[in-house]
Structure 1
Amino acid sequence: MVDLNLLPWRDRLYHSKLKRVTGWFLAGILVLTGIGWGLMQHWQQQLHTQVQRNQQLQQEVQHLRHIRPLQRVLPSPKLEIQAGERVQKTKMNRSLHIKVVTVHYAKALDLAAMIKDKTNGLLSRRGTVTVDPRTNVLWLEDHEEQLKKLLAFIKRLDIPAQQIVIEARLVNMNQESARDLGIRLGLIAPSKLGTESNTLPSNGGRLGLDLAAKPLEATAASIGLTEALWTTQRLLDVELSALESRGKAKVIASPRLVTSNQIAAVIESGEDIPYQEFSANGTTSVAFKKAVLRLQVIPQITAKHELMISLVINQDADSGKRVQGVPIISTKSIETHILMRHGQTIVLGGIYQQDHNRQNDQIPFLGDLPIIGEVFQRKQMRTRHEALLIFITPRIVGS
């Protein structure tokens, strides 16, 4: 097949030139576009470098580039300080309000000390607090917002303290009687001492109680501890009364103390032993030393409505000995911390006393004869071992 070009030779020449011109034009556009793109990238990089060098900020908003110094955009420390001072002046210019608060249960002096403490942040710079101890009144002066915080703080702390009644029995008895009492009241295994149980063993109505009777070789520093339910307290009273009537026990004291939460309750019974005291200039004066039985109880009510009891018991007695006229006091003490429930009875033991009595009886004249005199003599040695038992029963008032 033959392709015949029927166009005149002039038209063919025109079309050939048009193709060459179009090719050159397109090539020129491509070259210029590449050069422009390269220049644009170089220009943007140069601009970014220059902006960073001059510590300026570049922002593009609606296809427009804005270049500003950073000082105009970021606040300087000086400007921040000035702004803070202006805010503080604004607060200072606000009016102060006065509120008089009567404190009902807490001490106004204690509340004022906590309010004035700067670490609590309860008072502003212009705020003041004044106390009248006689009427237990607080005079508050501060901004309205700060007064609201102060009133909420006082309301939270000004609440009545819970009261605790502590019943104690201090009983002196010999160790055999203490051991017999423990058996009669239902002895718990020694391994259970100091532990807590929700149930007591069945003892035919007897009290589940261990009086922690120690052997004779026990030291005075040892301590026995157990617990009993408050419903058996009448049985305990009966047993102690029976022992006392037979002369086998002696109830030294049965105090009942009422104290507030975390406030110490103290009771002591004994005597002050006088002695002469000499001063450096030769004058004499009379001084006293205490020989008392002292019981200190500090109760604390826990979040679970239990009682953490801190007990300190001291039994001081006159030893009968003197050093340059000053009496020597024999001291025995127990200090312990116990977690109890309301109405439980704790029995503490471990304070022991030993008395040795020697008695010689003889027939006059015959007992003094050599060799055969012992036939007319009678010698007796008596040793008495006594233990001090402390029964503690705390109760929360209103429980």
Structure 2
Amino acid sequence: MKLRSSSLRSPRFRSLLAAAAMLALAVPQAAMAQYTLNVREADIRAFVADAAEVTGRTFIVDARVQGKVSVVSERPLSRSEYFEVFLSTLRANGLVAVPTGNGAFRVQPSEGAASQPTRIGSKGAARNQMITEIVRLRAIDATQAVETLRPLVSKEGAITANKSGNSLVIVDYADNMARIRALVAQIDRDNASTQTILLEHAGAREIATALTQLIPAGGEGGRALATVVAVDSANAVLMRGERDTLARLAAMARQLDAKAATGGEIKVLWLDYADAAVLVPVLERLVGGQGGTEVASGSQAPVSLGGVGSSQASNAGALGGTTPAAGAAAGVGAGSGSKASVNPTGATTGGLGSGAIKLANGRGTATITRYPGANAIIIAAPADDQRRLTELVRQLDIPQEQVLVEAIIVEISNDVARELGVQFLFGGKDKPFAVTNFGNSSPNIIDVAGGLLANKLDQTTTVVNGSTVTTTTNSTAGDLLKQNAASKILAASGGYSGFLTQLGNNTYLGALINAVATDKNSNILSTPHITTNNNVPASILFGKEIPVATGEALSSANFNNTFRTISRQNVGIELDVTPQINAGDQVRLDLRQEVSSIAGTVSSRSDDIIVNKREIKTTVTVGDREIVALGGLLDDNEQRTLQKVPLLGDVPVLGELFKSRGRSHVKTNLMVFIRPTIMRNANDRQELTARRYGVVRNAQRAFEPGREPGIDDLVEDYLGATAPVAPGKAVAVAPGDTVIAPKAAGELPPADAAPPARP
């Protein structure tokens, strides 16, 4: 390559050269430089080196770049024109110059250049420079646009669709990018129109569903030719699409609406999810219950379905009101007339006496009932009112989500008790007696002494001819004293000792020492859980019913005959909950959690029992799968008791014989946690069921390691089903497990086959 400059020697142009020299002072020398390209079979690397010298740019040559090039220029080129010719030469030879981050260019084969960092945007880019551009679409779908534009992209370029932003990412040469952008501007136009069809007789949702099924799809990845949306509040159908398609759909909608006006007045609605027995009273209340607002016939707003009557009536029935003045509020119920009632079949009976409800403005009557043999509702009403009721039923007949409510009840307690006391008894037959008796001492010295002296009470001593004769007889009082002493001794706890000695004739002295130490620790963990539908109350009880005496009376004829009234009381763990799923996966829980147990009798002299009861009744809002603490109790109760005989108990040292001491220390730590889990579909239910099933299965396996869990046998043999497994998860098979599968699933492994390894 040779650099040449032109010279003008003619005298005629010397003045022009002088002027050009003056202009050269104001124009950069580099911009005025002219270069001529004339290379034949030159090495590509030498060609790149000359381009770097002329353009002042840095080029990084890939090791794969090899070969020779030939370029012939008929006229001098500026620096920018030289760079453009350089890029065109690379492109013609299957090469490309990709800009790097530091301003240099990487010369490499064009294959794979689209994945390299390139210039973003075409502003200031050379025609043969590889660039990246983002084209945002407004009307057409990005996936469909890729299929249309892919043949126009060069083989070195690439085009992808960004579905989330409905845009295209294109990597190609700048000159081809301009052609693609111009084509996108032509095809990315919204030619669709909208149309609203107001319905008078048919339901908007029903018409929209029918029309949607008739619309042909726009092909794979494309949009449908039209879109139909039901507007329930206005009982209208909103359509968007091509004009010809909308015209055909509008004609169909009007024909169906006109046909609905002459349709039958009795309709059976088969419910998919809602309960007909629950839904019928709601419809009856709307048709013939409380007061509302009457709307003139033919209006698009919801029309009053009940009989006329004052909206201020406190007990509105189906009939019996008076017609209000024009423009005044008219109730869907009645004024002071007869009240409506629901018969066993679900129909509302009012003043007509036939189950029919008189409608406003003399439009006729309506009858709503349910079919007991199926989950269905029968509506007999004029077409317009029937349509409104049908739309209401369809809005209410939706699948209900379920909620699993899990509770964790933790109670840790430590009970320590100490008792020490001395009891004395002094007395005899036909003589005064003295006794020290303390309520916290067991057994009671009076009970024990009564049993020991029972034989003395049954003995009679007489003197016959100077000789003393003792006669022993069995009395009822003696037997009762012995039985009472035996029961008290057997019921006593701890250690006790004593003596009973005779002092003189029929005089006795006794003493009883008791010492009791009790240590009781408990750690109770309970996890009741229950599953219920949204807004449906549910309860679960683990425990028993115990009899509780609520009253006692003596017979007026025989005072020995006692009458007692008994009621049953639940004792155990009880959970009552009503979940309500709110927005944002928040669950409102109206719940009552109770833990109760029998603590024993009130005293040794009474059969009335003491029931320990811990109850929480509250309303909380918890996130899905969130654990929250409902409440709890931290109780540290210490008691010290001292019972003594006045004066004698105050004597130093010896006073301890006339005292009874007791000490108890009870610590209780109770906490209740709750967690709701929303189950929206079958996969959620399967996952939670598999988790609970796995807990029971693992417990049975740990109890009997060498045997197949009994719950598997029950499910497979009795229910004829397979064990629950979470969706998308395989059953973990441990060494020693037996694989049981239906014969249709394939051959079973041989008996001597090695068990599969644990994943």
Q: TM-score range by the shorter chain?
A: 0.3 to 0.5
The answer to which structure, 1 or 2, has the higher relative contact order (CA under 8 A, 6+ apart) is 1
Higher helix fraction (1 or 2): 1
TM-score (norm: length of structure 2): 0.26
TM-score (norm: length of structure 1): 0.47
